[in-house]
Amino acid sequence: MTEIWVRSSNLENIVVGRVTARWNAAGNRILRYHLDLRHSKMNLFRELSAPELFILQSKVDTLVAAWDEKWVQHQGRQAVLSGKESAEDLTAAALLRLDGLNHILAHTLSVDDAVDWDALKDRSAYSMPKAFPKAEPVYAPSSAPVFTAPVVSFWKRLMGKATEITEQAERKHREALVRWEGVESQRKSEHKTALAAWNSEKEAFWADHERAQSAFLMEQAASNAKVDELQSALSSGDPEAVIEHATLVLEASDYGGLFEKSYTIQYQHDQRLLMVSYDLPSPDILPTIKAVKFIKATGELKETSITEREQKANFEAVAYQVCLRTVHELLEADVDQNIGKILFNGEVQFIDRRTGQEARSCLLSLLVDRGTFSAIDLSRIDPKACFKSLKGVSAASLASLTSIPPIMKMNKEDRRFIDGRDVVHMIDESVNLASMSWDDFEHLVRELFEQEFQARGGEVKVTRASSDGGVDAIAFDPDPISGGKIVIQAKRYTRTVGVSAVRDLYGTVMNEGASKGILVTTADYGPDAYEFANGKPITLMNGANLLHLMERHGHRARIDLREAREAMV
């Protein structure tokens, strides 16, 4: 036996030294064998020795077995420590979330709620490449054949063959030179062709980017101009601008992901009254964990929740704070003094435990004027007491989810809706959709989607034409999984649709509180439009998709963009 074997379940942690021997003075006999062992994770070290290798092997086996047992115990201790640390971290995080429920109102007092108009503008630069990515073709001439005088032997000279041999060598050299010149001429020609193609591709590359940059800057300028237009319209008290501004304010309100914000905003210009129907977070989504404990016996983390009474108190505190915070944010951001009064109706969507069905209740309602609210020091009030002092109306217990009649009901009927017009029956294969009038095209799209949603009881309404090209139609799809409110925009374009139209649709979807947006065009979309829509609740339908949708419902038409462009000249 000349080797020592180390057998371990965690061999990767054991460092084994070399077996060394100590000899007698005569050098003819080994007195003792030595071996160093180290456990890298537990920082253990032992030097073992024995007069015989089999004894040394036995000692190694015993030591490694002991180390393996210690390693298991070590891992167990580390797991307990790790579990305790995880439990402590989770407990701290849970307490922080619970504590945050009491600071919803205080948070907004340290924030300037005025809209930063400049921040809404796109200041990004077009990503222009620094260089053409393809290398320029290079021509490297090969060396011309070099004439080497032949070596003529004495006997060849004696026989008079020297001249013949030299002439033969010169002839071969000339032939080689001709072949080389032919090859070089061909290579030069190929290089010239490749260089011309490269220059053409390079020019096209930069021309494409110049056009893309120009389009980018135009879209950017148009988008930024809309911000200026909105700011100007807001200064003049335009009702739509007041609603859009209020939406921007509420969207910017940061609740730390506590709940998904959803609201409806209306404005009565003559009364300077802003009305907000706000979806409060339902009780079952508020945090309830107050502690996490590590169970050593099972290795599990056990959560402990606050009491049901505490849960109800937290829900009530959150509801009153959200109400006062929303009013504060809207009034503070209203630097143009368009708002004289605010109506806040706090509603909640929940599952009625008695029926198992979804239900909706208005839990609290507040109508307050600017002067009265501005006189309140929100940093020192009790939210519920403040709400009551402002003559707010609420259920005796908000946690009971009992509905109350609001101080004032909001008109939930969208006045933008107009009667639909039947267009599709006039469409046949001779009709070029790209040449239709704008309003006919919008009504056609409305009819197609009405037929699409009809089977599941959906409804599609076309909206009154607006100067900003906002919403063309609203679909109400009752499907519980994929349905909801859907914004549909129709773009009868003859050119590629840029990313700005998709951005506008996404903004409209957010403003409308819709679940999805659909953009329908007779043309197609650029790659930047598809990239922006990726991962968002947006569907882009091009001309081919539109024709397919028509065929699915028994209608035929055609799309000829060139013909449409020529007709517009």
> For 145-186, what is each residue's pLDDT tens digit?
998 888 888 888 888 888 888 889 889 999 989 999 999 999
Number of H helices, E strands in the chain: 14, 17
C-alpha angle with apex 244: 242 to 247, nearest 5 degrees?
110
| Mean pLDDT computed over 188-213 | 94
Mean pLDDT estimate for the chain:
85
Choice among 61-75, 252-266, 296-310, 555-569 with the minimum mean pLDDT: 296-310
Boundary residue ending a domain (400, 435, 466): 400
For 452-463, write each residue's pLDDT tens digit. 877 666 777 777
Q: How far is it, in rounded angstroms, from Cα 423 to Cα 435?
A: 14
Q: Could you tell me if 427 and 552 lie in one domain?
A: yes
Residue 293 confidence (pLDDT): 77
For the chain, the residue count is 569
* Nearest alpha carbon to residue 445 among 401, 492, 384, 410: 492
Residue 569 pLDDT greater than 60, yes or no: no
Q: Tell me which of 55, 89, 123 is where a domain ends.
A: 89
Q: Nearest 5°: phi and psi at 9?
A: -80, -10
Query: Could you tell me if residue 74 is inside a domain?
Result: yes
Cβ neighbours for 85, distance < 8 A, ≥ 6 positions apart = none
Structure tokens at 19: 């077996």
Higher pLDDT, 369 or 569: 369
Residues 426 and 387 reside in one and the same domain = no
Chain Cα centroid distance, residue 449 = 28
Considering the domain architecture, whether residues 461 and 556 belong to the same structural domain is answered as: yes
Nearest to 394 by CA among 342, 359, 346, 326: 346
Q: Which domain holds residue 339?
A: 253-400
pLDDT confidence band for 469 (50 / 70 / 90) = very low
- Residues 10-37 have a mean pLDDT of 83
pLDDT at residue 468, rounded to an integer? 43
Q: In terms of domains, do 421 and 564 share one?
A: yes
Domain end position, chosen among 29, 60, 89 = 89
Given a cut of 70, is residue 428 above it in pLDDT? yes
314 part of a folded domain: yes
Per the structure, the count of domains in the chain is 3
Local structure of 194: helix, strand or coil? helix
> Same domain, yes or no, for 305 and 342?
yes
Rounded distance between C-alpha atoms, residue 247 and residue 132, angstroms: 44
Assess if residue 238 is contained within a domain: no
Q: Shortest CA distance to 362 belongs to which of 327, 405, 311? A: 405
Residue 493 lies in a domain: yes
Q: Are 547 and 475 in the same domain?
A: yes
Q: Provide the pLDDT confidence category of residue 416 given band limits of 50, 70 and 90.
A: low
**Tokens 């076309």 identify what position?**
462
Q: Stretch 480-492: mean pLDDT, rounded?
A: 80
**Taking residues 381-390, what's their average pLDDT?**
94
- pLDDT for res 97: 81
The pLDDT-based confidence of 69 (bands split at 50, 70, 90) is confident
What is the pLDDT confidence band of residue 1, given thresholds at 50, 70 and 90? Answer: very low
Task: Judge whether 446 and 422 are in contact, CB under 8 Å.
Answer: no
- Predicted confidence (pLDDT) per residue in 261-297, tens digit: 888 899 988 889 999 999 998 888 888 888 777 666 6
- Res 568: pLDDT: 66
Across-strand partners of 525? 497
Are 380 and 522 in a shared domain?
A: no
* Burial degree of 256 (CB within 10 A; 0-12, 13-18, 19+): exposed
Give a yes or no: residue 160 inside a domain: no
**Among 445, 415, 485, CA closest to 240:** 415
Whether 230 maps to a domain, the answer reads no
> Looking at the structure, do residues 440 and 554 belong to the same domain, yes or no?
yes
The whole-number average pLDDT for the span 504-527 is 87
Give the model confidence (pLDDT) of 293-348 as tens digits: 766 666 666 778 888 899 899 999 999 999 999 999 999 999 999 999 999 999 99
Same domain, 391 and 263: yes
Residue 99: inside a domain: no
Please state, in angstroms and rounded to a whole number, the distance separating the CA atoms of residues 45 and 22.
21
**Winning range, highest mean pLDDT, from 16-30, 196-210, 277-291, 302-316:** 196-210
- Whether residue 286 sits in one domain with residue 421: no
Cα angle, residue 235 at apex, residues 233 and 241 outer, rounded to 5°: 40
Per the listing, tokens 């994929």 go with 482
Whether the model clears a pTM of 0.85, i.e. scores above it, the answer is: no
Q: How far is CA 415 from CA 188, 271, 419, in A?
A: 74, 18, 11
Residue 502 lies in a domain: yes
Same domain, 381 and 448: no
Sequence-ordered alpha helix ranges (H) in 15-153: 53-100, 104-109, 117-120
CATH of the domain at 470: 3.40.1350.10
Alpha-carbon distance values, 151 to 126, 157, 163, 167 (Å): 70, 10, 11, 12
**Tens of pLDDT along 138-153?**
989 899 999 888 888 8
300 and 440 share one domain: no
Mean pLDDT, residues 245-264 taken together: 86
